[in-house]
Amino acid sequence: AAIRRSSGDFVLSVDSDTTLASDVITKLAVKMRDSMVGAAMGQLTAYNRSDTWLTRLIDMEYWLACNEERAAQGRFGAVMCCCGPCAMYRRSCLLSLLDQYETQLFRGKPSDFGEDRHLTILMLKAGFRTEYVPGAVAATVVPDKMGPYLRQQLRWARSTFRDTMLARGLLRGLDRYLTLDVMGENLGPLLLGIAVVTALGELLFSHTVNWWTVLAIVTMTIIRS
């Protein structure tokens, strides 16, 4: 309703628990000068970083997600998820996609989670670029207990897997790096889980440590970082 009633050139998405730096709108708007840019997101940090060990780790996770993953995707003008806490959209593009956005289905059923990733994929499928602006900093409140954090991560993971299916036709027209990136994002956690469970099983039943598994996980972590 707010988007349909708006009248400006751009629409800014901000979560209710997010605090924006004073220059965020200016920095995002500069990126939107290119008429082919449909959306741009800023850098996310944990507002309550100093509360617990978990919030500190989440802040580190956000830094990696923004300055590694989104920055790499932005190199090709195809950030795969312009995160809800701080994202600017070109209103004309947004209006053209609004009906699809509001009626999103997955396997014939209404789907209303992961709406930021879904909208970003729709932008890319419509032929617009999506960008990352590291200087536009937004601080958002993150879970400080494991239970809420795991529920949040499960919801986000469902969104990632669902919208990968939505984007499968899109990837052919993008850089090959992005195809590899999306495959890694979906297969990486699965393979890591299998490796960890296998190593624990070997330790439990044969009382030996699979150092090759440990070495492989450490190596992949170093390469990723």
Residue with tokens 């780790």: 57
Q: Rounded CA gap, 74 and 80, in Å?
A: 9
Number of Cα atoms under 13 Å in the Cβ half of residue 121: 22
Are residue 141 and residue 186 in the same domain, yes or no? no
Q: Are residues 89 and 166 in the same domain?
A: yes
Axis-axis angle for helices 115-125, 146-167 (nearest 10): 20
Residue 107 identity: R
1 plus 86 within the same structural domain: yes
Distance between CA atoms of residues 153 and 206, nearest Å: 33
Look at phi and psi of residue 39 and say left if phi exceeds 0, alpha if psi is from -120 to 50, else beta: beta
Same-domain check for residues 34 and 113 = yes
Assess whether 91 and 183 both reside in one domain.
Answer: no
| Average pLDDT rounded to a whole number, residues 123-134 | 94
Amino acid in position 158: R
Please work out, in degrees rounded to the nearest 5, the angle formed at the alpha carbon of residue 10 by the alpha carbons of 7 and 13: 110
Count the neighbouring beta carbons within 10 Å of the beta carbon of residue 201: 11
Please give the structure tokens belonging to residue 130.
Answer: 């999506």
* Residue pLDDT, tens place only, 51-109: 999 999 999 999 999 998 999 999 999 999 999 999 999 999 999 998 888 887 777 77
User: In this structure, are 117 and 215 located in the same domain?
Assistant: no
Closest CA to 77 of 37, 126, 18, 106: 37
For residues 5 and 86, state if they share a domain. yes
pLDDT digits (tens, 9 = 90+) for 133-192: 999 999 999 999 999 999 998 888 888 888 887 777 788 888 888 888 888 888 888 888
Which CATH number covers residue 99? 3.90.550.10
Q: What angle do CA 63, 176, 73 make, to 5 degrees?
A: 20
40, 135 contact by CB (below 8 A): no
Q: State the total domains in the chain.
A: 2
3-state SS assignment for residue 38: strand
For residue range 102-115, what is the model confidence (pLDDT) as tens digits? Answer: 887 777 777 777 78
Whether 154 and 185 map to the same domain: the answer is: no
Residues 193 and 107 reside in one and the same domain: no
> What is the C-alpha separation between 3 and 15, in angstroms, rounded?
15
State the Cα–Cα distance between residues 163 and 93, nearest whole angstrom.
Answer: 19
Which 8-state DSSP code applies to residue 24? Answer: H
Among 145, 173, 201, give the residue marking a domain's end: 173
> Do 191 and 159 share a structural domain?
no
Instruction: Answer yes or no: do 183 and 154 share one domain.
Output: no
Domain that holds residue 121: 1-173
Residue 45 and residue 5 share a domain: yes
